Amino acid sequence: MGKKVWLNGGLVDRENAAISVFDHGVLYGDGVFEGIRFYERKVFKLDEHIDRLFNSAKIIMLDIPVSKEELKQAILLTCRESGLDNGYVRPVVTRGTGPLGLAPWKCSNPSVFIIADTIQLYPAEHYRNGMPIVTVPTRRNISEAVNPMIKSLNYLNNILAKIEAKTAGVEEALMLNQEGYVAECTGDNIFIIRKGVIYTPPVYAGALPGITMSTVAELAAGMGVNLIDKLFTRAEIYTADECFLTGTAAEVVPVISLDGRVIGDGKPGAITRKLVERFQEYARANGTPIG
């Protein structure tokens, strides 16, 4: 566990890493964040995550008070200082402190902090044997409300879905959009495989443009397997040959049932297993050295 947190320009002890109760990130969930893994002292897809963070900030008109390069160096420093070879790093930008009331223009100093730690989203056996999931009643936010493309501090939509999954006795929830099409899971993108082709919902269905998704698309292409964006319903997941989820924290995790319907033969499928393996190899071999 890292002993220091990077906060507004430098490293501070964890115990002293605090932001104000008047920060609008705390008061209103007004801010953006990223989750990034590092493997064997290399940060995976660092530039892609930084670009997405800046895009999220741009959409909510939040000026990040450091440059992309400064943020990159701060992330590498925080990882280095953590003493971990493998871990998860979380940059967060909040709107900053201001008076009560939503007005973001009254907040003058956005806060930036970076935590390096470890994360395990699902039990290890789910990676070997596959994971059951359920569809939950909470729908994914519509793009015209809080656009799911924004990785904002406003994760209550997904937290409600996660609670519903837990109440149903599983670890992850399938979220549909307002039209009933599959969007994504609470912290992961979803994929099905049918007749050797991989399908995933397009971003406009209510999915975050996943960086692990892009990696999996490249790995699949290298295996001669096509990945196609397509709208589909949960009935198409029940009848798929294979299903899996991707995310930075989740990595690639096989799904073996949805709402009690067994997918394929109820074991992680052949293409999924290959992707799990190739992803692990690729992630360990590529990335920005933490120095």
Binding residue for ligand PMP, selected from 46, 211, 220, 253, defined by CB under 6 A: 211
Question: Closest CB to ligand PMP among 33 and 113?
Answer: 33
User: Can you state the angle between helices 270-285 and 211-222, rounded to 10 degrees?
Assistant: 110
Question: Closest CB to ligand PMP among 23 and 184?
Answer: 184
**Should residue 188 be labelled a site residue for ligand PMP when binding is judged by CB under 6 A?**
yes
* Dihedral sign from CA coordinates of 120, 121, 126, 127: negative
Measured CA to CA, the distance from residue 216 to residue 196 in angstroms comes to: 15
- Least separation in angstroms between residue 109's CB and ligand PMP is 26
3-state helix, strand, coil in the chain (%, to 5): 30, 25, 40
Measured CA to CA, the distance from residue 87 to residue 39 in angstroms comes to: 7
Question: Closest CB to ligand PMP among 4 and 172?
Answer: 172
Whole-angstrom distance between the N-terminal and C-terminal Cα of the chain? 18
**Should residue 200 be labelled a site residue for ligand PMP when binding is judged by CB under 6 A?**
no
Residue 151 annotated among the catalytic residues of the structure? yes
- Least separation in angstroms between residue 228's CB and ligand PMP is 18
Q: Which stretch binds ligand PMP (CB under 6 A): 67-75, 95-103, 187-195, 230-238?
A: 187-195
Q: Which of 4, 42, 45, 151 is catalytic?
A: 151
Q: Which stretch binds ligand PMP (CB under 6 A): 24-32, 78-86, 186-194, 269-277?
A: 186-194
Distance of CA 267 to the CA centre of its chain: 25
Interface residues for ligand PMP in 2-41 (CB under 6 A)? 35
**Should residue 210 be labelled a site residue for ligand PMP when binding is judged by CB under 6 A?**
yes
Measured CA to CA, the distance from residue 236 to residue 194 in angstroms comes to: 9
Say if residues 245 and 255 touch (Cβ distance below 8 Å).
Answer: yes
Distance of CA 10 to the CA centre of its chain: 26
Tell me which residues touch ligand PMP (CB under 6 A): 35, 158, 184, 187-189, 208, 210-213, 246-248
Active-site residues, by number, are 151
